Amino acid sequence: MGNLKIAVMVHSLRLGLEKGLEWTAGMGVPGVHIACCPGFCYKDLDRAGRKNFVRRLRDAGLELSAICEWGGGVDLGEPEGLAGHIEEGKKLLEFAADLECGIWQGHCGIIPHSRKDPKWSRFVDSFGQICRHGEKVGAKLAVETGPEPPAILMQMIDDVGSSALNVNYDPANLILWPARYMLDAGEAYNKEKAFAEYQPVEGVKVLGERIIHTHAKDAMVFPGDVRKEVPLGEGWIDWPHYVQNLREVGFEGYFAIEREVGDNPQADISKAIEYLRTL
């Protein structure tokens, strides 16, 4: 078994784009996962600018694992602003294609847990319009796991029926989201119940070949029902088992280290790089 393909989510370093790229290259990590930001988005880079950016990455020994956009402010199940969101989604897929990674990772709203919910059909139609465009331009949308169990996300993928609708698997989110739901409902956190439904590690087998990108992130729920992201390898994700499950479903993509909290993200990400290199 070969070494894992490691990427760093550059904005997690809190260094800015240019210094973040330099830091990652200096660590000998081949991949960068970049969030759209001023100077790096489809509005700011024309075709020539996109080609130049890819060339710069290559010269630095780097490869783009995926672009990241829509961190939670867009819900494709809501009618307000939907037409604009769909058009922006198409442009993001074009952007990913031109940058030669072909993957746009994003949150697209909370998918209802039942096909009977009125929002379900709106999601199916919205994803369908965006992803049919992705098929044309040669790019894929990797929806991030978390708000819904893997089985629900797989139902949505099946209903949409597009090869361009795929998954960015974030195992930590599958710990954090059900803990949030239980807290909101006034329930005590029940790990056994949450893991049975949201399957942070075993859900890989549910989504299978639709997983094209993954976030290397960890989490746990502390006494008092406090849910937290923690440094990689220090939480509840069984990483050797997780990696094995991904290999078994044929995953050959990037493990992109994301660190959304903590006082010293560069130190945490350095440790995460070393940890992933042991797997």
Instruction: State which residues form the domain around 260.
Output: 5-277
Tell whether the model's pLDDT for residue 1 goes beyond 70: no
Question: Which are the contacts of 255, defined by CB distance < 8 A and separation ≥ 6?
Answer: 4, 5, 6, 7, 214, 215, 216, 276
Any idea what the CATH number is for the domain that residue 163 is in?
Answer: 3.20.20.150
* Cα→Cα distances 127→80, 85, 109, 185, Å: 16, 11, 11, 29
Ramachandran angles phi, psi of 136, nearest 5°:
-70, -40
What is the pLDDT averaged over residues 202-226?
98
C-alpha–C-alpha distance, residues 261 and 29, integer Å: 21
In the chain, pLDDT over 70 holds for what percent of residues?
A: 99
* Band (69; pLDDT cuts 50, 70, 90): very high
Of 92, 28, 104, nearest in space to 8 by CA? 28
Q: What is the pLDDT of residue 183?
A: 96
43's tokens? 């509005």
Number of domains in the chain: 1
> Helices 173-184 and 191-198 meet at what angle, rounded to 10?
120
| Spatial contact of 152 and 106, defined as CB atoms under 8 Å apart | no
pTM tops 0.75, yes or no: yes
221's tokens? 């729920």
17's tokens? 């784009």
Tell me the Ramachandran region of residue 169: left when phi exceeds 0, alpha when psi lies from -120 to 50, beta otherwise: beta
What is the pLDDT averaged over residues 54-78?
95
